[in-house]
């Protein structure tokens, strides 16, 4: 009887492809025997395919003095599975549900699905994280946008009453209480499942956003497919450095410090060490506030 360790590579890879999209099952399969572990460790392309079919990709990391040692898709798969077991936010642990539904509906290729002929559908988290809570009320409907060619570039231009809310976006960049870190998007980059979910279906490597006048106000690019975190950070960079947003951030930090029994300086030292799964997050206005103390 043929045993698993004695199977040819082609047979093992065929089993692997039948499990694409089920990251926990693939991780368990890779740990079944030494032969499978070696086979999967030496080929990150099969992990990229697995993550892609599951609806996840690496966001672009901000440049900095520190570099993440392991940016492989094997690590991404493990991050997602581990976070699923501890996160309390359903929209994070199930961030890929809509992608999997779309993927099985269309016969797209395994790794790259950029098809300008099809309208793009934005991930629900795009609306949840970046628009005020009034979005979705009666009369405000979600739109589908056709990409320009040759580069897929949907241009979301909701009605004037449903524009990106800078305060809502700012909240996705600010910290929360330590005991609430797995119950709130505070910040978003602490949640790899929501962050790494593709921002559109099908995934595209470039997104152009237009305002109501048709002018492009932000471009998001990621060769591996634009993720929710890529879009989130691009929109966060547009938050103006003004009194309104500075006072909002200051009030937020003061509330955290007061409740934690810390000074603002102590709070800054504590939260600055938590830079997200990419180890690159900078908390908005924090250094300016500390400098002004």
Q: Tens digits of per-residue pLDDT, 107-146?
A: 544 444 444 455 678 899 999 999 875 433 333 333 333 3
What whole-number percentage of the chain has pLDDT above 70? 80
Binned at pLDDT 50, 70 and 90, residue 106 comes out as low
Instruction: Calculate the average pLDDT of the chain.
Output: 82
Higher-pLDDT residue of 232, 101: 232
pTM of the prediction? 0.84
Task: In the chain, count H helices and then E strands.
Answer: 14, 4
The least confident of 129-133, 137-141, 251-255, 281-285 is: 137-141
Tell me the pLDDT tens digit for each residue of 61-75. 987 655 555 789 999
pLDDT, average across residues 277-285: 95
Looking at the predicted structure, is the pLDDT value of residue 218 above 60? Answer: yes
Taking the C-alpha atoms of residue 253 and residue 263, their distance in angstroms, rounded to an integer, is 10
Q: C-alpha dihedral over 228, 230, 232, 236, to 10 degrees?
A: 180
pLDDT at 41: 84
For 178, list phi and psi in degrees, rounded to 5: -55, -40
What whole-number percentage of the chain has pLDDT above 90? 52
């Amino acid at each position: 009887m043929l045993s698993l360790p004695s199977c040819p590579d082609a047979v093992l890879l065929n089993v692997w492809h039948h499990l694409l999209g089920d990251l926990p099952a693939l991780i368990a399969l890779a740990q079944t025997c030494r032969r499978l572990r070696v086979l999967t460790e030496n080929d990150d392309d099969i992990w990229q395919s697995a993550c892609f079919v599951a609806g996840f990709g690496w966001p672009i990391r901000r440049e900095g003095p520190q570099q993440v040692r392991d940016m492989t898709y094997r690590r991404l798969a493990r991050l997602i599975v581990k976070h699923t077991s501890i996160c309390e936010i359903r929209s994070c642990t199930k961030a890929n549900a809509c992608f999997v539904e779309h993927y099985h509906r269309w016969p797209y290729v395994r790794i790259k699905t950029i098809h300008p002929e099809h309208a793009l559908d934005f991930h629900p988290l795009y609306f949840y994280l970046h628009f005020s809570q009034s979005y979705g009320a009666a009369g405000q409907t979600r739109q589908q946008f056709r990409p320009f060619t040759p580069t897929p570039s949907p241009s979301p231009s909701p009605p004037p009453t449903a524009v990106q809310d800078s305060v809502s976006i700012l909240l996705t960049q600010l910290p929360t209480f330590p005991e609430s870190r797995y119950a709130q998007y505070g910040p978003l980059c602490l949640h790899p499942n929501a962050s790494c979910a593709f921002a559109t279906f099908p995934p595209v490597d470039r997104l152009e956003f237009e305002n109501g006048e048709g002018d492009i106000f932000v471009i998001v690019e990621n060769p591996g497919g634009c993720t929710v975190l890529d879009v989130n950070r691009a929109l966060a960079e547009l938050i103006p450095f003004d009194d309104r947003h500075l006072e909002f951030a200051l009030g937020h930090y003061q509330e955290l410090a007061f409740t934690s029994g810390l000074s603002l300086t102590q709070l800054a030292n504590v939260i600055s060490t938590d830079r997200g799964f990419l180890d690159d997050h900078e908390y908005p206005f924090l250094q300016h506030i500390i400098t002004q103390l």
